[in-house]
Structure 1
């Protein structure tokens, strides 16, 4: 008997490829933030990044004639734009200035867990066992990476609260964006979400202009890079993938980011990771692999004739 092709995996690979682009670019953002964050305050950095992303996305949308989003998409776009593009970026930038990198990584990485819980409750996605086990393993890996990165850094109550706000707004933004993608395209939803985030951060415009006048060129270029790639491109590929899978699985995929940050810091910043950091990164990757496994289908009660495993059954069985 010829086995039927597994079209489910064939349909899924574009979403997997898009998610891979997203996590690589988001991991690279941590390296750029180190440079830009030394010259720009949290709000100014968020506004500059979002403004660059909005200009790029707006130009592409005009060229492709994307048009105005449908009315049904606007609640999700507005909510995700305000929470994820706006509040999240400011809170994360500010929080990482108040706590060490390890603490920030541990607190912010509760975000994927919140996404799974919120999407199960609000979107009816359910909580399959592979997803739960995978997220548990990955979160454990993120904690190990965080502990190994903490060193002698200091942490404040304000910093921890800001990182917690970042995690909550990130999760809320993702769950809000999912319904919008049923009515609008990935580019459309990302473009207008980024625009709303930019408007949200406009109170920092004066600070951005003042700091840009004195910031080194490298910091400004890193801010522009953050807007073009980890924002404009990565958020678009994220939306493309999110439209084709569940919010819970997409959230779990972001646990690849800590492992990639360790690798990029090693290659780009010459920061040699210790054994504990490498072990944590490996756990993150292993957990993501587990979370993306498909639940085992229920065994069929119909057994093919002539099968070596077939056996006769009776009502008493």
Structure 2
């Protein structure tokens, strides 16, 4: 059951970038579609947790949920949705994989611990991968909006990294509250902030937006499969197998997204960009090498658990 859910989670997270791209290309406005996705997903999940008495509605009044929502939902997805107007879903997915590198750098800064040689090498390799990935847009056919889109994804991951580091403090502070409820509450706040930005920056025509079935189906998929099902499986896996094993989706899902975009949506991919994507993932593996070794040491226990 653990292995099956892990595969499902990787596939879900690997398809969400393409689903976003399809919705945007079909006419969905970036901030509104992102906002309605996370606001509704958060409301439904939190409502379910409150009804089952696993959380309280007053959780929404805590400033920690608002601050986490800025980092984990508002900042990262405002940038990602805007960027996918100009950047392919595969490139956006691979650039989003830089998040763990930033988390490591910020975490070391907060704890004032020096990075190991392997970790530092992984961060530098990841940076080289970003340069390789963006280089074709700078040298071959310069496109200002493509470059800005790539930079936006990276800036969004900086928001995500800060939010992830802060969320560890929040989870420790709310030890009696389910992580699913905490995630739902921050999605409500982040989604609401996205809707507020949309109100002042976008001219939303809901009727025409949902006239194209691609737009409405994309939104429904992202709400119920991407935001609710995907994250629920992730937290279930954390509870069953620990945090290291579920987090390895970061090595698999970007490549799934890259392949899906090229194979089924006709997205272009240069050899240099492909090399950049592989380099980024190699850097992530180096940064998390110690955690991966711990996972391999625990593998027999995980297999026995799966057998049950």
With normalisation by structure 2, the TM-score equals 0.70
Q: Contact (CA 8 Å) 1:48, 1:208: kept in 2 or not?
A: no
Q: For the residues of structure 1 that align with 2:110 and 2:16, how far apart are their CA atoms? A: 30
Q: CA deviation at 1:278?
A: 4.2
Measured in 2, the distance between the counterparts of 1:64 and 1:149 equals: 50
Deviation larger for 144-153 or 229-238 = 144-153
Residue by residue, what CA displacement relative to the aligned partner does 1:158-199 show, whole Å, maximum 9, x if unpaired? 656644541321111111111222223221211111111122
SS in 1 for 2:70: helix
Unaligned runs of 5+ in 1: 1-13, 298-317
Identify the residue that residue 97 of structure 1 maps to in structure 2.
85
Q: Which has more helix, going by share of residues?
A: 2
Distance 1:123 1:224, change over 3 A: farther
Q: 1:33 aligns with which of 12, 20, 24?
A: 20
2:225 is the counterpart of 1:229: yes
Alignment of 1:267-278 (within 5 A): 267-271=263-267, 273-278=269-274
**1:75 to 1:286, Cα distance in 2 relative to 1, 3 A:** same
Matched position secondary structure for 1:65: coil
Tell me the CA shift for residue 68 of structure 1.
2.4
Secondary structure of the 1:37 match is helix
The change in CA–CA distance for 1:34 and 1:106 in structure 2 (over 3 A counts) is: closer
SS in 2 for 1:197: helix
Q: Deviations over 1:9-51 (max 9, x none)?
A: xxxxx7x998876554333122111111121112111112113
Pick the aligned partner of 1:180 from 170, 177, 198.
170
* 8 A Cα contact 2:87 2:150, kept in partner: yes
Query: Are 2:260 and 1:264 equivalent residues in the alignment?
Result: yes
Partner of 2:188: 195
Mean Cα displacement is larger for which, 254-263 or 154-163? 154-163
Are 1:220 and 2:207 an aligned pair? Answer: no
Q: Is the Cα–Cα contact under 8 Å of residues 36 and 219 in structure 1 kept in the other structure?
A: yes
Distance of aligned partners of 1:154 and 1:110 in 2 relative to their CA distance in 1, 3 Å threshold:
same
Q: Which has the larger radius of gyration?
A: 1
State whether structure 2 residue 115 is matched by structure 1 residue 127.
Answer: yes
Structure 1 residue aligned with 2:304: none
Note if 1:211 corresponds to 2:205. yes
Note the C-alpha offset of 1:137.
3.4
Summarize the Cα distance change of 1:100–1:21 in structure 2 as closer, same or farther, 3 Å threshold.
closer
Distance (Å, rounded) in 2 between the aligned partners of 1:181 and 1:230: 22
| Higher RCO (C-alpha 8 Å, min separation 6) | 2
- 8 Å Cα contact 2:98/2:284 also seen in 1: no
Residues matched between the structures, number: 280
Taking a change above 3 Å as real, the CA distance of residues 86 and 22 of structure 1, as seen in their structure-2 partners, is: farther
Looking at structure 2, the residues matched to 266 and 100 of structure 1 have their Cα atoms a distance apart, in angstroms, of 9
TM-score by length of 1: 0.68
Instruction: Report the CA distance shift for 1:286/1:125 in structure 2 as closer, same or farther (over 3 A).
Output: same
C-alpha separation in 1, matches of 2:110 and 2:66: 17
Q: Counterpart of 2:157?
A: 167
3-state SS of paired residue (2:205): helix
Q: What is the aligned-residue RMSD (CA, Å)?
A: 4.2
1:8 alignment partner in structure 2 = none
